[in-house]
Amino acid sequence: MISQKLNDQITRIGPQTAAGAVLRRYWQPAALADELRASNGAVPVNLLGERLALVRDASGDLVLATRVSSPDEPPAHYPDPQSIELVEGGPVYPVVEKKGMVFTYMGPGTPPAFPNFDCFRAPDSHVFAFKGLWECNWLQALEVGIDPAHASFLHRFLQDEDPSDGYGRQFRDKAAHTDMPMTQVLREYPRPDIEVEQTDFGLKITALRHMANDLTHVRVTNQIFPQAICIPMSREMIITQWHVPIDDENCYWYTMFTSFAKPVDKDVMREQRLKEHRLPDYAPLKSRANNYHYNPDEQESLTYTGMGLDINVHDQWAVEGLGPIQDRTREHLGRGDAAIVRYRQMLRKAIKAVESGEEDMLPMRGGADVGRIVGPLSNDAIASTHDWKQASFLTDMQRRAECPWDASV
C-alpha cells in the first residue's frame, strides 16, 4: 500500500520522470536484429515514451532518431518503413548491436560498459533473441520475474510431459540431474524459502524447495539492475530478459536465450515463438481481446490457467490483469516478496542518487569495473539439504566447464 504519488515515482518512465531518468542511465534493448533484416529501410522503435526509428546516419552508422508521429497512433505502432520521416533536430541516440539485439543509450554523458554476462560472451551461434508485447507497465512485468514462488501456481502443469519433447521451452526439462520433471517439482513443492542477496549487478535470488528424503531443490535466478532478469530455462539454456517500456502502460520483453553446450537451434526457437506472435509488432496472438484463449476444460485437467502450455501467456495474463499500471495503493506484500521489496529499495535509492547528482552511486556505473562482472549463475539443482549451496555452485561450474565457449567465472 503505497500512495499513487509513490507508485507514479517508480512506474512512470517518460522524459523528465524519476524512474525514466534511472532507466536512461543504462543500455536499453530497442529492436531485434531480425527486425533490421526484415526491413528495407528504417525500423520503427517506440521506447521510453519516445517515438523513434533506427536509421543509418550520414556516415552509414546505425542510430536511433526521433520520428514524426501523431498523438493518436497506437503504443506499439509500426508504420511502413517507407513512410517514416525523421524530426529534424530531434534527439538522436547511439546504438550497438549485440547477439541479435540492438541496444541504445538514451541518457546523458558516457554510457556504462556492458557487463560480461553469459549472453554477451557466448558466440552468436549460442544465443537467440526474441521479443513480445505486453500491454502493461514495465515494473509489474519485471516484478513477476523476481517472484520465485509464482511458478508453482501460475505455471503449474497438472500432467508431466516427456522432458525430451521440451526443447526451447521453460520448465520442460528434468530437474537438475534427476528423472523428476521440473513441472513435478514446482507442483509438489509450492512454497519455497526465498533468499535474496545483493550483488554487483543487482540481486541474486535463491528459491529453496525442501523435498522428501532430505533433498532440496535449489533454483537460482537474478535481477539485473535496472530491469532485466537472468533465470535458468533448462539444463542447457538460460534466459536473460529485459522488460523495456514502450510508454507507461505498455512494454516489450526482450529475451536472449543462451545455450551452454550446443548451439541454439534458432529456426526451431523462432518458429515456436512466431506461432504465438504476429509481425511486425510482435504482439502475442493470445490477449485480453480474446480472453487469452482461456479453456475451462484445459484448466481442469492440464494447466493452472487454462491458457495453454506457453508460460509466457500465463505471465502475460497475470501482469496485464493488474491493469495498465498496477494500483499499488491496494497492494499487500509479504516477507515472501523479498526480492520485490529489495528491488524497490534499489530503484528508490537509484532515483535519489540521480536526483541528487550522484550517478556514480548507481549499480554498474561510476568507477565499477563492469567488464569484470560475469555469470550470473542461474540454475536448478537438487542437493542434500545440508549442502545445497555448494551443490548449486558445483552444478553451474560443471556446466561451464563442459561448455565450448569461455563461460568461466
Partner 1 sequence: MAGRAFEDILDGYFPLEESVRQMMERHRFSTVWITLLHAPIMNLRDLAPTDPVPLTLPKIYSGMIDFMALLGSKQGNRIELEGLGDWFWIDPRDRAPTFPATIRLGEPAFVRGIGLHELGDDPDALTSPREVAVVRPKTSSALAEEMASATAELGWTSSRAFGFGRRVEGICDIADADLSRTLLGQDFTAPTESSDGSGATAPLDEPAYLLVNTSPDQLTPEALKLARRL
Among residues 135 and 315, whose Cβ is nearest to Fe ion? 315
* Touching Fe ion, residues 315-334 (CB under 5 A): 315
Residue type, 31: A
CA 321, CA 323: separation in Å to the nearest integer?
5
Q: Using CB distances below 5 to 8 A depending on partner kind, what does residue 315 bind out of Fe ion, partner 1, none?
A: Fe ion
Convert 326-354 into a string of H (helix), E (strand) and C (coil).
CCHHHCCCCHHHHHHHHHHHHHHHHHHHH
Shortest Å, Cβ 7 to partner 1:
10
* Partner touching 335 among partner 1, Fe ion, none, CB below 5 to 8 Å by kind: partner 1
Using CB under 8 A, count the residues that bind partner 1.
Answer: 23
Q: Say whether residue 3 binds partner 1 (CB under 8 A).
A: yes
333 binds partner 1 (CB under 8 A): yes
Residue 53's H or E segment, with its range, is strand 50-56
Considering only 267, 332, 357, 367, the residue that binds partner 1 (CB under 8 A) is: 332
Q: Which is nearer to partner 1, 188 or 358 (CB)?
A: 358
- Look at residue 127 and give its three-state secondary structure: strand
Least spacing, CB of residue 352 vs partner 1, in Å:
7
Residue 342 interacts with partner 1 (CB under 8 A): yes or no: yes
96 interface partner picked from partner 1, Fe ion, none, CB below 5 to 8 A per type = none
**Binding mask 288-317 vs Fe ion (x if CB under 5 A, - otherwise)?**
---------------------------x--
- Of the pair 139, 182, the CB lying nearest partner 1 is at 139
Subset of residues 25 to 44 that bind partner 1, contact rule: CB under 8 A: none
Q: How many CA atoms lie within 13 A of 285 on its CB side?
A: 12
Q: Does 200 bind partner 1 (CB under 8 A)?
A: no
CA distance 169 to 311: 9
- Tell me the DSSP string of 170-211: TT-SBSTTSSSBHHHHHHH----EEEEEE-SSEEEEEEEEE-
Any contact of residue 51 with partner 1 (CB under 8 A)?
no
Pairing of strands 374-375, 116-117: parallel
Q: Which three cell numbers stand for residue 258?
A: 543462451
What are 201-207's contacts with CB under 8 Å, separation 24+? 201/115, 201/225, 201/363, 201/364, 201/373, 201/376, 202/343, 202/346, 202/363, 203/146, 203/339, 203/342, 203/343, 203/346, 204/376, 204/377, 205/146, 205/148, 205/338, 205/339, 206/392, 207/148, 207/149
Residues 160-199 that bind partner 1 (CB under 8 A): 198
Q: Which stretch binds partner 1 (CB under 8 A): 111-119, 136-144, 318-326, 327-335?
A: 327-335
Among 193, 199, 349, 405, binds partner 1 (CB under 8 A): 349
Contact residues: partner 1, CB under 8 A: 1-6, 198, 329-335, 337-338, 341-342, 344-345, 348-349, 352
